[in-house]
Amino acid sequence: MKINLASVDSVIIYFGDEISKETSLIVKQAYELIKTSNNKAFIEVIPSYNSLLVSYDIFTFDYETIKSFLENLLKDITINDSEEKSIITVDVYYGQEVGLDLEYMSGKTKLTIDEIIQLHTSKVYDIYAIGFLPGFAYMASVDDKIAMPRLENPRKKIPKGSVAIADNQTAIYPKDTPGGWNILGKTAFELFDKKLESLSPVSIKNQIQFNSISKEEFLSQGGVL
C-alpha cells in the first residue's frame, strides 16, 4: 500500500501495480472500511482497479494526519473473498439487429455466435470500477476466447443498453454515447435511474451475470430494438 498526494485536499492510495482480482478485492475491502468509519471528513472516495482516491476536509485533517489515519485504518487489510456477494442477473437480447459486432467477432474469433453468447453468459463478472459515465461499470474478466480490442473506428453513437466487450472487460452502456467497444447485445436493465434512491442498482460490491433472452422477452421488458 502506498499513499500519494493527489491534490490540496485529496490523496490516492495504491494497492498494487496491476489489474488483478486480488488487488480489486483489497480495494473493495479498503473502500468498505473507509465508508463504514462514517467519518464526515471524507468527502469523496473513488474506488478503481488498483486505487482509492480519497478527498477530505482540510479543516479536519492535514496531509500528514490523513496519511497516518488511513495507514492505521488500513494496516491490517487482507483479502477477504468469503463475503457473500450479491449476484445481479442482467437479461440480454443477443440478436444481430442489436448485437452490432456479433458477426465481426465471430469472424475474428472463429467461434459461432452461439458460442460467443454461451461464453459471455457462462461467467460471473466482478465490477472493478464505475466511471466514464454515471453507472458505467467496468466488469471482468471475459473468457480469453472472446476478448477483443476496441474498434479501430469508434462509433459516434452506441445505443443505451448495449452490452459490449473491450479487451477482457465487459460493460453495459447506461446511455447513448460515442464509444469503441464491441457490441454483443442489448438489455433493458437500467444502470442509472433517477427513480432509485441509490441512483444505480449496482455498486462495486455486486457481481453481474448475463442471461440470454429472446427478442419477445426483451421487448416485453421494455427493450427497444
Residues that bind another protein (CB under 8 A): 4-10, 12, 18-19, 31, 43-53, 55, 58-59, 62-63, 129-136, 138, 192, 194, 199-200, 203-204
Q: How far is the CB of 45 from another protein (least distance, A)?
A: 6
Whichever of 46 and 88 has its CB closer to another protein, that residue is 46
Q: How far is the CB of 39 from another protein (least distance, A)?
A: 13
Alpha helices in 60-148 (DSSP H): 63-74, 102-109, 113-122
For helices 102-109 and 113-122, angle between their N-to-C axes, nearest 10 degrees: 90
Q: How far is the CB of 213 from another protein (least distance, A)?
A: 26
Whichever of 12 and 119 has its CB closer to another protein, that residue is 12
Q: How far is the CB of 32 from another protein (least distance, A)?
A: 11
Whichever of 7 and 153 has its CB closer to another protein, that residue is 7
Phi and psi at residue 51, in whole multiples of 5°? Answer: -145, 165
Using CA atoms of 104, 109, 114, 115 in order, give the dihedral in degrees to the nearest 10. -160
Whichever of 136 and 218 has its CB closer to another protein, that residue is 136
Using CA atoms of 66, 71, 74, 78 in order, give the dihedral in degrees to the nearest 10. 160
Write out the three cell numbers for 199.
441512483
